[in-house]
């Protein structure tokens, strides 16, 4: 601001939300008042620079006494340290002398404060942590909820991410993809059942033949009392009674193998891409994706590890997970309600002009021929610290039957 402007302000301007006059400097006993006055000015939510002019006594009738500063001029660093030590976020201001006619006045220049509300970050004398003030006209008031709402509505109105942030399927780079339904599946437990039934039939035929031909040793080998020998535990080395017990427990014994087959071998792996075309990062970002539940549709809630290899002489009737992989630990959180699967992922920051995967590990989406709809609609919300409200999207998975 030019000097002549200050001259005009001192001579003619009245106090307002951006201008205040003080007769004397803020000495130690007035430091609480300084903190309140600086906060109140910084919280005035417009782009104008704000000023407190010290050494001018403005009377109620509009007349003013130009007192000037006769005592030692307070160093700007003292005020800076006082305010920044007690207030958050940091307020931009300076304090410097200005010569008006034959006297020296002081000017507090409060400027470029675009992150209200400013408030006490700790207790200081009569002020408490969280206290905040705002200047309205020529008076000072405590911050209200309405003021805070206004701060954020104006702040985020200037950052319309909705027009500049897009969400698409990673594979198609579009808001829709096509996937087939899964039918005629052969689960490991089904294969094991067929193998066991075949072996039982062979054993029964051999047992019948050995009895007819009076070979008791072979009859013993294939009888119901047979136990595994030499640690060889393939189906072919098991007794008929043991194999029948195995049939009863197949779904339990092969649970992990079946799940691995269903979700890691057959299910579709789905990921989304976030494209931020704005000029700012989205901070502390996260995404939530909602998929409506339906028969024939399952979203896996974990990564299933590959089962251990079969023995060389037959499929083992149980499976054992290998050590969990990186994918297992980084799979997104999948929650269930009565109506939806909700997939949640923390994204940290979404940088601008750098496409970002919505999920560190793609979700596993299993759709069988029991699913009767033509498409699956994904409803997504992106949240962020600097988003006034979440960004919302809809994407479609078209089902091919």
**How confident is the model at residue 309, as a pLDDT?**
54
Same domain, 166 and 315: yes
310 and 199 belong to one structural domain = no
Cβ atoms of residues 290 and 379 within 8 Å: yes
Nearest C-alpha neighbor of 132 from the set 42, 210, 220, 16 = 42
Share of the chain residues as helix, strand and coil, in percent rounded to the nearest 5: 30, 30, 40
Residue 2 has pLDDT above 80, yes or no: no
If asked whether residues 215 and 179 sit together in one domain, one would say: no
The pLDDT value given to residue 209: 76
Question: Taking 80 as the threshold, does the pLDDT of residue 290 lie above it?
Answer: yes
Domain identity same for 237 and 198: yes
The tokens for 52 are 């407190």
Dump strand ranges (E) for 78-127: 87-88, 93-100, 103-110, 119-120
Per-residue tokens: 88: 């958050």
Asked if residue 208 is part of any domain, the answer here is yes
pLDDT of residue 92: 95
Mean pLDDT on 92-101: 95
Q: What is the Cα–Cα distance from 322 to 127, expressed in whole angstroms? A: 60
Higher pLDDT, 68 or 219: 68
**How many CB atoms are located within 10 Å of the residue 131 CB?**
19
Return the DSSP state at 281.
P
Residues 163 and 396: their CA atoms lie apart, in Å, by 20
Are 165 and 204 members of one domain?
no
Omega cis (within 30) before 117:
yes
DSSP-derived 3-state class of residue 141? strand
pLDDT digits (tens, 9 = 90+) for 128-182: 999 999 999 999 999 999 998 888 777 665 566 888 999 999 989 999 999 999 9
Least-confidence region, from 45-59, 75-89, 130-144, 314-328: 314-328
- pLDDT tens digit sequence for 231-258: 445 788 888 888 899 899 988 989 989 9
User: What pLDDT sits at residue 211?
Assistant: 63
More confident residue, 378 or 1: 378
Q: What is the pLDDT of residue 324?
A: 56
Q: Strand pairing partners for 282?
A: 350
Whether 376 is in a domain gets the answer yes
pLDDT digits (tens, 9 = 90+) for 292-331: 999 999 999 999 988 765 433 344 444 444 445 788 899 9
* pLDDT for residue 187 is more than 60: yes
Residues 196, 169 share a domain: no
Range of the domain at 287: 161-184+262-400
For residues 355-364, average pLDDT: 96
Give pLDDT, residue 140: 95
CA dihedral 164, 167, 169, 170 (to 10 degrees): 60
Sign of the Cα torsion 218, 224, 226, 232 reads: positive
* 323-353 pLDDT per residue, tens: 457 888 999 999 999 999 999 999 999 998 8
Which of 328, 326, 329, 330 has the alpha carbon at shortest distance from 347?
330
Asked whether residue 177 falls in the same domain as residue 201, the answer is no
What are the φ and ψ backbone dihedral angles of 209, each rounded to 5 degrees? -65, -45
Sign of the CA dihedral 148, 153, 156, 158?
negative
pLDDT tier at 19 (50, 70, 90 boundaries)? very high
Spell 43-79 as b/e; 16+ CB within 10 A means b: bbbeeebbbbbbbbebeeeeebeeebbeeeebeeeeb
Q: Which residues pair with 366 in a beta bridge?
A: 298
Are 169 and 318 found together in one domain?
Answer: yes
Residues 299, 334: contact at Cβ < 8 Å? yes
- CATH number of the domain at 63, please: 3.30.950
Residue 257 is assigned to a structural domain of this protein: no
Share the mean pLDDT of the chain.
87
Predicted confidence (pLDDT) at residue 66 exceeds the cutoff of 90:
yes
Total domains in the fold of the chain: 3
CATH number, domain with residue 331: 2.60.40.10
Q: Both 65 and 12 in a single domain?
A: yes
Is the pLDDT confidence value at 215 over 90? no
Q: Same structural domain for residues 275 and 344?
A: yes
Q: In the chain, pLDDT over 90 holds for what percent of residues?
A: 65
Check whether residue 287 and residue 343 sit in a common domain. yes
């Amino acid at each position: 601001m030019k000097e002549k402007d200050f001259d005009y302000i001192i001579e003619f301007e009245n106090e307002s939300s951006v201008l205040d006059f003080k007769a004397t400097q803020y000495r130690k006993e007035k430091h609480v008042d300084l903190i309140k006055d600086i906060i109140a000015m910084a919280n005035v939510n417009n782009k104008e620079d704000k000023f407190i002019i010290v050494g001018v006594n403005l009377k109620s009738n509009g007349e003013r006494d130009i007192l000037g500063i006769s005592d030692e001029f307070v160093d700007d660093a003292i005020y800076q340290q006082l305010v920044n030590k007690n207030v958050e976020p940091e307020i931009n201001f300076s304090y410097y002398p200005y010569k008006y006619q034959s006297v020296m006045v002081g000017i507090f220049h409060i400027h470029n404060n675009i992150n209200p509300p400013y408030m006490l970050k700790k207790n200081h004398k009569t002020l408490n942590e969280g206290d905040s003030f705002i200047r309205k006209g020529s008076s000072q008031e405590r911050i209200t909820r309405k003021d805070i709402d206004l701060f954020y509505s104006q702040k985020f109105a200037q950052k319309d991410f909705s027009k500049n942030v897009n969400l698409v399927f990673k594979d198609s780079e579009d808001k829709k993809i096509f996937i087939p339904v899964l039918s005629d599946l052969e689960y490991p437990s089904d294969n094991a059942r067929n193998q066991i039934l075949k072996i039982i039939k062979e054993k029964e035929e051999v047992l019948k033949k050995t009895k007819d031909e009076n070979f008791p040793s072979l009859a013993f080998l294939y009888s119901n009392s047979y136990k595994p020998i030499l640690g060889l535990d393939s189906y072919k080395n098991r007794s008929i009674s043991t194999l029948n017990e195995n049939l009863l427990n197949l779904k339990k014994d092969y649970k992990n193998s079946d799940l691995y087959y269903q979700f890691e071998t057959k299910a579709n792996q789905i990921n989304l891409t976030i494209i931020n075309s704005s000029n700012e990062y989205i901070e502390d970002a996260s995404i939530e994706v909602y998929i409506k539940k339906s028969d024939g549709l399952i979203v896996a809630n974990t990564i299933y590890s590959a089962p251990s290899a079969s023995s060389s002489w037959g499929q083992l009737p149980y499976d054992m997970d290998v050590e969990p992989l990186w994918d297992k630990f980084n799979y997104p959180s999948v929650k269930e309600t009565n109506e939806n699967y909700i997939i949640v992922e923390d994204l940290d920051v979404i940088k601008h002009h750098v496409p970002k995967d919505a999920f560190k590990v793609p979700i596993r989406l299993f759709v069988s021929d029991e699913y009767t709809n033509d498409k699956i609609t994904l409803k997504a919300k992106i949240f962020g610290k600097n988003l006034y409200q979440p960004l919302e999207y809809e994407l479609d998975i078209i089902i091919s039957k």
